[in-house]
Structure 1
Amino acid sequence: MTTVYLIRHAEAEGNVYRRCQGQYDSLLTPRGHQQLPYLAKRFEAVPLDAVYASDLFRARTTAKAVAAPHGLNVETRPVLREIDMGDWEDIPWAELPRIWPKEYAVWHARPWEAVPPHGESVMQAGRRMLDGVRRLVGAHAGQTFAVVTHGSAIRGALTIAHGLAPEQMGEIGWGDNTCVAKFVFDGPDKIDVVYENDASHLPQELSTFASIGWTDHKGVPSTPQIWFRRADPMDEEDAAKIVAFMRELHQNAYGTDAGVNPAALLADVARAQRVSPRSCCFGCLEDGTPASLVYLKTWYDDEPDVGLVGGFCIDKAYRGHGLSGQILGQAISVYRALGKDYLCAHVASENARAQGFYHKFAFEQRGEYRDENGLHFRMFKRICID
């Protein structure tokens, strides 16, 4: 008999930023790093002969926490990767039904047969990953090892391991980040699933499901998801909205919006969008209502490895509804695509609320900046994948 612990990676960017991230490589979140010691503790007394992981950062980083107490190295295997989401990679989930309505409708209603354009299905990913595990079982007959992989791949693999038909995949619930399944193999083909989707090692305050409002464990968050559209500075209505958001941001930061020069602002937005059309976007609700603004100064080149934030603003009616991570995710997506290593924001020294936002998402203060509006802290977040 060979025992395999199948582990989902710790909380990663896509889980919080509400973006479709299959084989897109992303970092762990601050809560993801907090989850790791609890996972390590769970396996501290479990005899392990080897630890394997997908080669994606979020899986191999999680695997190191499992391997460290045993003095083991993590061996990576691309076959253990998450589902390939093809053209959907790094697209906000709320954007998919707008761009690919027919394909997304199948994903929503019949996920076992849905294949994103140029991607693969959940069942294909599950079979690929499980076949990779079977090969490892052949190399570790009679031993015990851990495999750190991904949510959709695990769901597909569990469907196969239970002998269910693909259309019965819905009977396999989603597992929280760092959840564990225990498989016992009698040869490569006969599998006994001892337990699955067990995240009992996590305290409630570190549960991803609890924090983002997943109430049914089937991947449907109860908080709003937003999609992004380009804010056109040449369009009269869009221009007015851009200025209104930036006035609100200045009012919140400095107690006055006197520093907003609409003409100069819109010229800077146009300049930024020549670098990337996504440099200034509205985060919109399902009905198209702009609920937030993401403005990035992509024309900034004083520090070649730094992407500078021009402004994040959420309409006061939608604050406190989980949108902050989504607007940050959009900024990271833009600057990572531009090859930046760091995201930087200049935060007014008196703006405690904004400082709280950046500290929540693990920005660190590195220096100060002063302009006509006063003193600012320079807040940095590393966004490149090592």
Structure 2
Amino acid sequence: MTTVYIIRHAEAEGNVYRRCHGQYDSLLTPRAYEQLPCLAKRFENVPLDAVYASDLFRARTTAKAVAETHGLTVEIRPVLREIDMGDWEDVPWAELPRLWPEEYAVWRARPWDAVPPHGESVMQAGRRMLDGVRGLVHENEGKSIAVVTHGSAIRGALTIAHGFAPEQMGEIGWGDNTCVAKFEFDGPDKLEVVYENDASHLPQQLSTFASIGWTDNKGVPTTPQIWFRRADPMDTADADKIVAFMRELHRNAYGTDANLDPDALLRDVERAQRMSPRSVTFGCLESGEEVALIYLKTFYDDEPDVGLVGGFCIDETYRGCGLSGQILGQAISVYRMLGRTYLCAHAAEKNARAQGFYHKFAFEQRGTYQDENGLHYRMFKKIGID
């Protein structure tokens, strides 16, 4: 008998930034690094002969936490990767129904049949991953191993392991980050699912599902999800909205907007968008209402590995609704594509709200910055993937 523990990776960017991350390589979140000791403790007294992981950062880093408690190293197997989401990779979930309405409708109604453009289905990913696990069973007959992989691949694999028809995939539900399934194999082909989607090692405050408002393992987040559209500085209505958001940001940060020059701001927006059309965008609700501004100074080149934030602003009505991670995710997406290693923001000395935002998302202060608005703390977050 060979025992295999199938483990979902700890909380990663896509889980909280509400972006479609399949084989897109992303980092873990601050909460993930609190989840990992709980997972490691769960396996502290569980015999393990080997630990395997997909080659994506979120999986191999999770696997390392399990392996280290046993003095093992992590063995990488790309076959254990997450579903390939094709053209949907790193697209906010809220944008999918706007850009691919027919394909996304199938994803929502018949996820076992859905194949993102140039990607693969959940069932194909599950079959690929499970075949990889069977290969590991062949290499480790009679032993006990841990395999760290990904949510959709696990869901598809569990559907197959139970002998369900693809359309019964909904009976599996979703497992929280770091959840565990236990498989017992009698040879590579005969297997029994002992348990699945077990995240009992996590206290409620470290549950990803709880943090994003999932009511059960088949639910959807109750927090609003936003999509992003280019803010056009040449369009009068858009220009007015850009200036209005930045006026609000200045008043919140400095108590006055006296030093805001609208014409200079709009010229800088044009400069930024020459580097990337996504550098200045509105975050929009399903209705199209603009509820946030993301302004990135992509023309900043004093530090070639740094992407500078010009401003984040959320409409007052929607603060505290879970949008902050989504606007941060947009900034990271833009600057990671531009090859930057760090995201930098200047938080005004007296702007406690902004400082709280950056501390929440694990930015670190490195020095200060002074301009006509006063003293700012330079806040940095690593976004490059090792």
The residue that corresponds to 2:204 in the other structure is: 204
The residue that corresponds to 2:353 in the other structure is: 353
The residue that corresponds to 1:376 in the other structure is: 376
Q: How does 1:127-142 map to 2 (within 5 A)?
A: 127-142=127-142
Separation in 2, partners of 1:149, 1:235: 46
Structure 2 counterpart of 1:134, one-letter code: R
Structure 2 counterpart of 1:57, one-letter code: F
TM-score (norm 1): 1.00
Structure 2 counterpart of 1:203, one-letter code: P
The residue that corresponds to 2:49 in the other structure is: 49
The residue that corresponds to 1:217 in the other structure is: 217
The residue that corresponds to 1:297 in the other structure is: 297
Give, in angstroms, the shift of residue 189 of structure 1.
1.1
Structure 1 counterpart of 2:227, one-letter code: W
The residue that corresponds to 2:280 in the other structure is: 280
SS of 1:309's equivalent in the other structure is strand
The residue that corresponds to 2:234 in the other structure is: 234
The residue that corresponds to 1:172 in the other structure is: 172
The residue that corresponds to 2:34 in the other structure is: 34
Give, in angstroms, the shift of residue 125 of structure 1.
0.1
Structure 1 counterpart of 2:184, one-letter code: V
How has the CA–CA distance of structure 1 residues 385 and 85 changed in structure 2, closer, same or farther, with 3 Å as cutoff? same
Structure 2 counterpart of 1:107, one-letter code: W
SS of 2:354's equivalent in the other structure is helix
State whether structure 2 residue 16 is matched by structure 1 residue 16: yes
Give, in angstroms, the shift of residue 219 of structure 1.
4.9
Give, in angstroms, the shift of residue 173 of structure 1.
1.0
SS of 2:345's equivalent in the other structure is strand
Q: How does 1:319-330 map to 2 (within 5 A)?
A: 319-330=319-330
The residue that corresponds to 1:73 in the other structure is: 73
Give, in angstroms, the shift of residue 216 of structure 1.
2.5
Separation in 1, partners of 2:271, 2:122: 41
Separation in 2, partners of 1:131, 1:147: 13
Structure 2 counterpart of 1:286, one-letter code: E
Separation in 2, partners of 1:171, 1:236: 50
The residue that corresponds to 1:193 in the other structure is: 193
Separation in 1, partners of 2:344, 2:270: 20
Separation in 2, partners of 1:221, 1:83: 21
Q: Over aligned residues, Cα RMSD in angstroms?
A: 0.4
State whether structure 2 residue 263 is matched by structure 1 residue 251: no
The residue that corresponds to 2:306 in the other structure is: 306
Separation in 2, partners of 1:248, 1:18: 26
Structure 1 residue ranges, 4+ long, deviating more than 6 angstroms after superposition: none
List gaps (5 residues or longer) in structure 2.
none
Give, in angstroms, the shift of residue 177 of structure 1.
0.1
The residue that corresponds to 1:334 in the other structure is: 334
Task: Give me the identity figure in percent.
Answer: 83
Separation in 1, partners of 2:111, 2:32: 27
SS of 1:216's equivalent in the other structure is coil
SS of 1:317's equivalent in the other structure is helix
Structure 2 counterpart of 1:39, one-letter code: L
Q: How does 1:79-94 map to 2 (within 5 A)?
A: 79-94=79-94
Q: Deviations over 1:156-187 (max 9, x none)?
A: 00000000000000000100000000000011
Separation in 1, partners of 2:241, 2:260: 13
Structure 1 counterpart of 2:81, one-letter code: R
SS of 2:184's equivalent in the other structure is strand
The residue that corresponds to 1:122 in the other structure is: 122
Q: Deviations over 1:170-219 (max 9, x none)?
A: 00010000000000001111111000000000010000000110113225
SS of 2:320's equivalent in the other structure is coil
Give, in angstroms, the shift of residue 50 of structure 1.
0.1
- Aligned pairs, how many? 386
SS of 1:379's equivalent in the other structure is strand
SS of 1:218's equivalent in the other structure is coil
Q: Which moved more, 1:57-66 or 1:212-221?
A: 212-221
Separation in 1, partners of 2:267, 2:121: 44
Q: Deviations over 1:249-279 (max 9, x none)?
A: 0000000111111100000000000000000
SS of 2:278's equivalent in the other structure is helix
Separation in 1, partners of 2:84, 2:258: 48
Separation in 2, partners of 1:333, 1:11: 17
Separation in 2, partners of 1:265, 1:324: 23
List gaps (5 residues or longer) in structure 1.
none
Q: Deviations over 1:220-272 (max 9, x none)?
A: 11110000000000000000000000000000000011111110000000000
SS of 2:47's equivalent in the other structure is coil
Separation in 2, partners of 1:113, 1:75: 32
Structure 1 counterpart of 2:36, one-letter code: L
The residue that corresponds to 1:143 in the other structure is: 143
